[in-house]
Amino acid sequence: MKNIEKNLIICLLSLFGLFLSSCYGDKGNYEYRELNDVTIVFEDALTTLIRDSLKISPQLSAPNGYNPDKYTYEWKVYYTATTQDPEVIGTEADLKYYVSLLPGKYKLVFTVREKDSDIFYRKTSDLEVKTTTTLGWLVLCSEEGRVRLDMISHITGDTYRDLLKGTELETWQEPRQLLYDSYMAEPFYLVTGSGTTRLSDNEFQWQESYLIENEFAGAQFDKAVAYMGTHYPGKLIIDEDGRSYYCDNTMGDGLFGSSRKNQYGYKKGLAIGFNRLETQNLPLFMLWDPVYREFVVCTDQFQALGLDSSFDYPMSTLSGYGFPITNDALFAWPAYQDQMQLVCMENTLYDKNQSGRGATYAILSKGDARYLYGIILGNLVCLIDDEEKYGVAYEKIYYVDLSSCADITQASHFAFSSLKTYMYYSVGSKVYAVNFAASTPASELQLDLGDEEITLLKFYLFEKEDTDNRSYDLIVGSETPSGEGVLRIYDGFDSEGNFLNAEPEEMETGFARIVDVMYRE
């Protein structure tokens, strides 16, 4: 049996030999040459920043010598999170690539192909692209009316210009506001005359679904947003006609409802007050009715208290509905016959009573007179012994006549400190400070930028832990006679709000006209 198996194997080997002979025996006319195997050497793992320059000079060698002119070259990247087609980022031996990839992990593949034979050699490396824009100042500019978004990166120290270039937003006009809503999946809002949209947390990507029109529940919204305010669990927008719309996002992103009615109409001023320091169950949003000339309060949950949720109630009427109020005798709410006009309204982190509630300030005018109102907006519902009770609607904390302050009727921008009872305002190139808690409030010149016009004055209130107390830093945007925007950041904590002849801790030039600034944390 063993001999039979042995003979069978010998026969099969003989047949295989004849087969090889028949295939190759008569092919002597082929030209044989030795392969000149190319060796490729560069790093197996690479890290780069978006908008940085990725440069790689691989070491290329071969046993018989390497002639670079005999080869073609291709660099490709594959995004590891998807099966999308690769992107070619270079066709030279040395890679010089301006990184426009989105942040993430990729495979970088370098192929060297011999021109004559089409034989190729390949090396693969891991590539991680990190963002330059995860930390730093976002600067919204008007470049001759066009929307331009720049950023001072606190990752690289560089300034990146026109972040929206190459998107559908690059031709939008009339920049107005930047906002951050930490409860949204796409947390940045951009408000312009051409439209209002969210921007992604990932390199400010944009898609049509981010438009504000998609955040309305059945109601048609075809107006431009003039002003927007966000504070969980709600947000408000005011359109160019002065109509306000509320969104309750307690259960998610939420949707805006129909326009809200005041006591005698719909029109609102371009300001929204809320308790910036406290997250509330049923918060108040305070607005100004420029027709009846009074403060009104909005919340979409009035129905929980037996009131009409589509209606905005005058602040002066809340006590009549049974809401507790504090220090109501400090001042009378402005009434129609007073014929007051809203100058500005701003929310702060200033905690006057150490109660965990921030202060809201409003300035009203009557002719050349200017009056400051300070209010702590309350929580309409509070929980006591697991039962819902009416919360304190508001507390009045300041009423000050500012009429004697220098050139205040010419003031173009206002900013209120969260550190002390300081208000700042700008007139042309100058910044003044007022301690409105003093017995006789008076203005004091703080800064004079010479021939520059101040276009922005604000404090940015940080959403996350403010370990460096940066919410007290004064932000000043200005424009030179040549039209160049300049951004200055002044330390407010160590100086305790005194910016007299202060030098900025940060300063950057090269912007267009600065409209708004926020910090990306």
List the CATH number of the domain containing 75. Answer: 2.60.40.10
Provide the residue range defining the domain that includes 474.
Answer: 410-521
Residue 493, domain member (yes or no): yes
Nearest residue to 138 via CA among 468, 384, 456: 456
DSSP label of 37: P
End position of a domain, from candidates 79, 111, 130: 130
Could you tell me if 341 and 270 are in contact, meaning their C-beta atoms sit under 8 angstroms apart? Answer: no
Confidence grade of residue 8 (pLDDT, cut at 50, 70, 90)? very low
How many CA atoms lie within 13 Å of 492's alpha carbon, on the beta-carbon side? 27
Query: What beta strand segments (E) does 216-359 contain?
Result: 225-231, 234-239, 244-248, 285-289, 294-298, 313-314, 325-326, 341-347
CA distances in angstroms from 197 to 142, 186, 228, 514, 515, listed in the order given:
17, 10, 11, 19, 17
Q: How many domains does the chain have?
A: 2
Residue 196, domain member (yes or no): no
pLDDT over 80 at 283, yes or no? no
Distance CA 450, CA 476 (A): 14
Could you tell me if 73 and 91 are in contact, meaning their C-beta atoms sit under 8 angstroms apart? Answer: yes
Q: What is the pLDDT of residue 44?
A: 96
Residue 194, domain member (yes or no): no
User: Virtual CA dihedral for 338, 344, 348, 354, nearest 10 degrees?
Assistant: -20
What is the side-by-side order of every strand in the sheet holding 341-347?
325-326, 394-401, 369-377, 360-366, 341-347
End position of a domain, from candidates 130, 157, 179: 130
Residue 235, domain member (yes or no): no
Q: How many other CB atoms are found less than 10 A from the CB of residue 205?
A: 12
Residue 29, domain member (yes or no): no
Could you tell me if 103 and 131 are in contact, meaning their C-beta atoms sit under 8 angstroms apart? Answer: yes
Is-cis flag, bond preceding 233, omega within 30? yes
- Encoded tokens for 335: 């009434």
Q: What is the pLDDT of residue 430?
A: 98
Residue 342, domain member (yes or no): no
Q: What is the pLDDT of residue 379?
A: 79
- Quick one: what percent of the chain has pLDDT higher than 70? 88
Residue 23, domain member (yes or no): no
Distance CA 4, CA 514 (A): 95
Q: What is the pLDDT of residues 381-420, one digit of tens each?
A: 665 544 456 778 899 999 999 999 999 999 999 999 999 9
Q: What is the pLDDT of residues 36-78, one digit of tens each?
A: 799 999 999 999 988 789 999 999 999 999 999 999 999 999 9
Q: What is the pLDDT of residues 68-119, one digit of tens each?
A: 999 999 999 998 866 678 999 999 999 999 998 888 899 999 999 999 999 9
Distance CA 463, CA 471 (A): 9
Nearest residue to 324 via CA among 374, 384, 390: 390
End position of a domain, from candidates 130, 151, 184: 130
